[in-house]
Chains A and B, each alone.
Chain A
Amino acid sequence: MSDLADLSVGGAAAGLRAGEFTAVELLEAVHRRAAVTEAELHAYLTIDRDGAARAAVAADSALRAADDPGPLLGIPVALKDNMVTRGVETTCSSKILSGYRPPYDGTAVSRLRAGGAVIFGKTNLDEFAMGSSTENSAYGPTRNPWDPERVPGGSSGGSAAAVAAGSAMIAYGSDTGGSIRQPAALCGIVGVKPTYGLVSRYGLIAFASSLDQIGPLTRTVEDAVAALEVVGGHDPADSTSYPGSFPDMRSGLEAGVSGLRIGVVAELNGAGIDPAVQAAVDETVAGLERAGATVVPVSLPSVAYALSAYYLIAPAECSANLARFDGVRYGLRRHGETVEEMMSTTRGEGFGPEVTRRILLGTYALSAGYYDAFYGQAQRVRTLIIQDFADAYEQADVLVSPTSPTTAFPLGARTEDPLSMYLSDVCTIPSNMSGDPAISVPVGVDENGLPVGFQIMAPALGEPVMMRVAAEVERQAGFTARARLATSEVG
């Protein structure tokens, strides 16, 4: 490996400790890569040159002092721009937060700083994490490093593109309905949505509070484990944070899948899935079987209603979460004679179309006379989905499906039809509804050379078995294809 920007976290950590290169050199390699890729990709909204440089210098002195806070010491990391960073512009890709510099760090960010990570920049996303293509950004779309005419997926498209292109070693995103896993799949990298509550949401700008979860986007399963270990664990500032000890995801990585039961979800495979995607998934399942796993068909009957329920619950929660953007205390303000007029104009002009649409949907779903038929019913459906998962996990240790029904689609292909865009998340939404963990691992490419993601779902706090299967999938797939733009060569 000639370019430091292409190293895995494990490789970089070893090199740093062996004195083969410094954190400053590692940061420079990532800067060189970004200088080439950003012109085409637009993965970043902000690159924090000064902050990153300071962190790299600090990491080098910690390395010299053998003061080792863990695996991310000196590692260049990208953060989705809905993660609050003190003093560094945090916009959620929205006009309404243009120029906003928060006065505090979120918990995950504080833990990254404490872990010696070098926070390189803030990545593009669909505005307020609402979307599946990163086209809904007030600052322009991010492109897919495998094919710049295609979307990187979303909403964590900037984070996925940066990791796939090597302009970040790892990145963090948030996953409300698939926003980490789907872009990871479309960009050929690993993406994890942890168990709800495993990573603190304090400092994650909320989209739908009962569904949002921070997670890593990495090039390997092992990197994902390292990335999770640093930010995860109980946080008293988040009332929904899991209070128990952090699960051991590392020790099973080499254990293989012999004796494990792999459940293939009938409702999430086959119908509605692109044949090339399904073929890669089927091949992966066959590989797991060859490696000693038992493959069992399982059914999640209520999952057919998951997308519908999601498009009531997420907008409802978002309509309240986004009420605070009113031009009073921070962010954009548009003129109004009265405060009410000022708020309405600010919000009307400050939010993009997708965000506006979801606020309207959610406001309607919660309004008097409709609550029970829409929001209330969606919450009951959520209960049924959770019960279905519980039943399925009686029969299988993990459940599998494609991550996304298709590979990366062309820019603009779905922007005019919200519902077709929403269908991008049909395989990922169920895990957000249940709060369970899920991971996307790249397993192959389609006829256009675009990557396919394989999704592994596990019961709550089932990250150890999920990672164990993911590591086996990774070994079997031997996915070594690289994004076309993953190069520091100019031209």
Chain B
Amino acid sequence: MTWETVIGIETHVELTTASKMFCGCPVDFGAPPNTNVCPVCLGLPGALPVVNGRAVEYAMTIGLALNCSIAPHSVFARKNYFYPDMPKNYQISQYDEPLCVAGHLDVDTDGEVARIGITRVHMEEDTGKSTHVGDGGRIQAASHSLLDFNRAGVPLMEIVSEPDLRSPEQARAFVAELRGVILRLGVSDAKLEEGSMRFDANVSLRPSGSTEFGTKVEVKNMNSLRSLQRALEHEVERQQALLDAGEPVVQETRHWNEDAGTTSGMRSKEEAFDYRYFPEPDLVPVEVDDAWRERVAGALPELPAQARARYASAGLDPVAADLVSRDPAAGTIFEEATAAGADAQTVANWLTGEVTALLRRQDLSLEQSGVTGAGLAELAEMVDDGRLSASAAKEVLAGVVAGEGNPESIAAERDLIQVSDVSALEPVVEEVLAANPDAVAKLHEGDGKVIGFLIGQVMRATGGKADPAAVTAILRGKSA
């Protein structure tokens, strides 16, 4: 039997508002433990929540960008479950009346576009952080846990997709596109490794052609796009092996272990899912009228799909178009560089190639890197003019990232400028020819290979700064 993969993704995004969802504590991830806390986010007796208006606007922005309907009337609800890093032992969330419903996001996987349904986008609050101590941080063997409530109450958006994804690869593309939307909207820094964007996946298999869903398994703890795809591939294989062997898939939550490359079942609790939702009596409903919705919709920035279409029509290849349309920092640099006259594909190649590789090696973000559109344009122009070799240009880029200045000054400082001026190179070539009569003879006999030797001699004589293209042109002139 052949099986069809069915995947739905639940994404959580922490908003970059100044203050928390229901109190005035700062949203600041680097603060010392338990300093960004107040009676509200610590769940002290008597404290009451008040909704951060900007968080509601951000949530609407996300909903509108995902083509959702904005509910004219939505309410907060209490989701009841006990967990030590959740101060009130209930989470203020939304349940049967969320802010945004019934949207979609188009996802392109190798040129094949699929429309993935967005069930809902709702607002909630994040929990604190627990650190397990006593045995290398492994939760099962820890002797006790430490709690920091700085993150408790940070605005969190939950984005739930329909089970419309049909492969791990497509799931990865969906999350990448969704992340691009969030970044373009500027409502979250959406850092996967740091957890400001997190996702869980529901995976099931069904016989190809069937319209009913199989038993689904929730997979958690993937913290990169790569680990998402790996985890899902592993889970699909696991389920397929079970089904092929005639064994049932058990509905459960499985934890992805990045190092082992496997998923493992978590202790299932029969009552764990009775959240006893009820309307939050400390908060009043949110009502969005047409005017408010129109105002937020009117302020939406260009989204990745629109940007990508624009770049594609300008002739950019798909990989480059993806990068500059999803990553606003890359997009800004790209726009600046091309506005400064640089060739679009050249800039895109720099961004997707050497810039990305260099930042990965140095574990830097584009914002931290010091790379600017003007700088890239300058670099591209110097290569184009023949003043920098390809390898020298990489060195100059490294200098830019190291904060040494602009490309022109770095190239000068590091003595990397190529000599391509014929009048300057001509005497050197003459000297080399005079010193190598055998080679000159072979050149005249039409031995093409000897030209390489002669170029090498010129390069040595100029200390490597001669432009090989210019030298070649001069030599060819002499041999003719």
A324 lies within 8 A of B282 (CB): no
Residue tally, chain A, CB below 8 Å to B: 45
> Which of these, B51, B80, B82, B87, contacts A329 with CB under 8 Å?
B87
Which 5 pairs across A and B sit closest by C-beta, in order of nearness? A323-B89, A366-B276, A209-B281, A210-B281, A84-B46
Q: Using a CB–CB distance below 8 Å, which chain B residues touch chain A?
A: 39, 42-51, 78, 80, 82, 84, 87-90, 145, 147, 149, 274, 276-278, 281-284
> Which of these, A203, A240, A329, contacts B282 with CB under 8 Å?
A240
A324: chain B residues within 8 A (beta carbon): 43, 45, 87-89
B45 lies within 8 A of A84 (CB): yes
A90 lies within 8 A of B45 (CB): yes
Given A103-B39, A209-B281: A366 touches B80 (CB 8 Å cut-off): yes
A316 lies within 8 A of B278 (CB): yes
- Judged by a CB distance under 8 angstroms, whether A237 is at the interface is yes
B147 lies within 8 A of A239 (CB): no
- Judged by a CB distance under 8 angstroms, whether A201 is at the interface is yes
A102: chain B residues within 8 A (beta carbon): 39, 44-46
**Partner-contacting stretch, out of A70-78, A118-126, A367-375, A482-490:** A367-375
Given A239-B51, A328-B147, A375-B278: A206 touches B90 (CB 8 Å cut-off): no
B147: chain A residues within 8 A (beta carbon): 328
Chain B interface, DSSP helix/strand/loop, else mixed:
loop
> Which of these, B45, B145, B278, B284, contacts A240 with CB under 8 Å?
B284
16 extra interface residue pairs, beta carbon distance < 8 Å, beyond A102-B39, A323-B90? A84-B45, A97-B45, A100-B45, A104-B47, A106-B46, A204-B46, A238-B48, A238-B50, A240-B284, A320-B88, A324-B87, A324-B89, A326-B89, A328-B147, A329-B87, A375-B278
A209: chain B residues within 8 A (beta carbon): 281-282
Given A103-B44, A205-B45: A237 touches B78 (CB 8 Å cut-off): no
A329 lies within 8 A of B281 (CB): no
Interface centre among A82, A205, A323, A325, by most B CB within 10 Å? A323
CB distance from B46 to the nearest CB of A (A): 4
Which of chain A's residues has its CB closest to B149's CB? A329
- Inter-chain CA distance A82–B84, complex, in Å, is 24
A198-212 Cβ-contact flags toward B at 8 Å (1 or 0)? 000111111011100
- Inter-chain CA distance A202–B23, complex, in Å, is 13
B284 lies within 8 A of A330 (CB): no
Q: Which of A192-229 contact B (CB under 8 A)?
A: 201-206, 208-210
B46: chain A residues within 8 A (beta carbon): 82-84, 102, 106, 202-206
A320 lies within 8 A of B43 (CB): no
A298-322 Cβ-contact flags toward B at 8 Å (1 or 0)? 0000000000000000001101100
Q: Which of A86-109 contact B (CB under 8 A)?
A: 90, 92, 97, 100, 102-104, 106
> Which of these, B80, B90, B145, B284, contacts A239 with CB under 8 Å?
B284
A100: chain B residues within 8 A (beta carbon): 45
A239 lies within 8 A of B45 (CB): no
Question: What are 11 residue pairs bridging A and B, where the CB atoms are less than 8 Å apart in the complex?
Answer: A202-B47, A203-B46, A238-B50, A239-B48, A239-B49, A239-B50, A240-B282, A329-B87, A343-B84, A366-B277, A367-B274
> Which of these, A210, A238, A368, contacts B274 with CB under 8 Å?
A368
Which of chain B's residues has its CB closest to A211's CB? B281
B84: chain A residues within 8 A (beta carbon): 326, 328, 339, 343
Chain A interface, DSSP helix/strand/loop, else mixed:
loop
CB distance from B214 to the nearest CB of A (A): 24
Which of chain B's residues has its CB closest to A364's CB? B276
Interface centre among B43, B47, B87, B281, by most A CB within 10 Å? B281
A204: chain B residues within 8 A (beta carbon): 46
CB distance from B254 to the nearest CB of A (A): 21
Given A206-B46, A238-B48, A323-B88: A343 touches B82 (CB 8 Å cut-off): yes
Interface centre among A201, A236, A325, A339, by most B CB within 10 Å? A339
- Judged by a CB distance under 8 angstroms, whether A340 is at the interface is yes
Interface centre among A201, A203, A209, A329, by most B CB within 10 Å? A329
Q: Which of A232-284 contact B (CB under 8 A)?
A: 236-240
- Judged by a CB distance under 8 angstroms, whether A363 is at the interface is yes
B39: chain A residues within 8 A (beta carbon): 102-104
CB distance from A344 to the nearest CB of B (A): 9
A323: chain B residues within 8 A (beta carbon): 80, 82, 88-90
A317-356 Cβ-contact flags toward B at 8 Å (1 or 0)? 1011001111011100000000110010000000000000
A114-140 Cβ-contact flags toward B at 8 Å (1 or 0)? 000000000000000000000000000
Which of chain A's residues has its CB closest to B83's CB? A339
- Inter-chain CA distance A84–B40, complex, in Å, is 13
Which of chain A's residues has its CB closest to B24's CB? A237
- Inter-chain CA distance A351–B180, complex, in Å, is 50
CB distance from B72 to the nearest CB of A (A): 19
Which of chain B's residues has its CB closest to A375's CB? B278
A97: chain B residues within 8 A (beta carbon): 45
B278 lies within 8 A of A371 (CB): yes
Which of chain A's residues has its CB closest to B82's CB? A343
A103: chain B residues within 8 A (beta carbon): 39, 44
CB distance from A224 to the nearest CB of B (A): 23
Which of chain B's residues has its CB closest to A92's CB? B45
CB distance from A177 to the nearest CB of B (A): 15
B284 lies within 8 A of A329 (CB): no
- Inter-chain CA distance A479–B107, complex, in Å, is 78
B278 lies within 8 A of A320 (CB): yes
CB distance from B23 to the nearest CB of A (A): 9
A208: chain B residues within 8 A (beta carbon): 281
A375-388 Cβ-contact flags toward B at 8 Å (1 or 0)? 10000000000000
- Inter-chain CA distance A239–B278, complex, in Å, is 17
Given A103-B39, A202-B47: A320 touches B78 (CB 8 Å cut-off): yes
A83: chain B residues within 8 A (beta carbon): 46
CB distance from B45 to the nearest CB of A (A): 4
- Inter-chain CA distance A324–B47, complex, in Å, is 11
Which of chain B's residues has its CB closest to A236's CB? B50
B89 lies within 8 A of A367 (CB): no
A366: chain B residues within 8 A (beta carbon): 80, 276-278
A239: chain B residues within 8 A (beta carbon): 48-51, 282-284
CB distance from A324 to the nearest CB of B (A): 5
B276: chain A residues within 8 A (beta carbon): 319-320, 363, 366-368, 371
A84: chain B residues within 8 A (beta carbon): 44-46
> Which of these, B80, B82, B149, contacts A340 with CB under 8 Å?
B82
